[in-house]
């Protein structure tokens, strides 16, 4: 009887943990606002001072943490024509050096500019702070604040 009760407790706890993990992964997808219109992203890209590429083959990118597409950086916004892996609490940073690992991100974080929140996973537009000078940096990074996870980066100059 004790073994059966223990087995039930363990199996139910395992199912609950798996459901919780699936919920954490799915919630950002379910609550994400609609992606910006392709015309809006294309118009911003045409005005960009700089462009770069998110690639899936970066050192700390993996099957759950990746980005692909063209990033456009201007005085008014950073935009992506492409996709990033869905996840919670994504932030966009500008960095003075190219970063492709969590360790490098943490080492340089004090020198970076946090631009804003990334709320969509297919195409995005993140407004640039008025005081920001994108020419003072050379890399755009997507970082998950909740889990301290590197997602992707692109050198734009």
How far apart CA 20 and CA 26 sit, in angstroms, is 10
How far apart CA 79 and CA 121 sit, in angstroms, is 12
In the prediction, which pLDDT does 94 show?
A: 98
Whose CA is closest to 113, among 97, 92, 89? 92
pLDDT tens profile 91-132: 999 999 999 999 999 999 999 999 999 999 999 999 999 999
How far apart CA 128 and CA 92 sit, in angstroms, is 10
CB 65 within 8 A of CB 151: yes
pLDDT tens profile 2-59: 888 888 888 888 888 887 777 766 666 666 778 899 999 999 999 999 999 999 999 9
Q: What is the pTM of this model?
A: 0.84
């Amino acid at each position: 009887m004790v073994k059966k009760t223990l087995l039930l407790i363990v199996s139910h706890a395992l199912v609950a943990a798996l459901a919780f993990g699936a919920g954490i992964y799915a919630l950002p997808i379910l609550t994400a606002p609609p992606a910006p219109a392709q015309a809006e992203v294309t118009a911003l890209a045409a005005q960009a001072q700089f462009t770069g590429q998110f690639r899936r083959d970066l050192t700390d990118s993996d099957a759950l943490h990746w980005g692909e597409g063209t990033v456009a950086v201007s005085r008014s916004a950073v935009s992506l024509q492409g996709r990033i892996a869905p996840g919670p609490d994504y932030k966009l940073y500008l960095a003075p050096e190219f970063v492709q690992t969590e360790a490098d991100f943490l080492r340089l974080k004090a020198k970076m500019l946090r631009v804003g929140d990334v709320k969509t996973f297919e195409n995005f537009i993140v407004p640039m702070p008025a005081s920001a000078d994108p020419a003072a940096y050379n890399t755009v990074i997507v970082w998950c604040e909740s889990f301290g996870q590197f997602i992707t980066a692109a050198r734009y100059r």
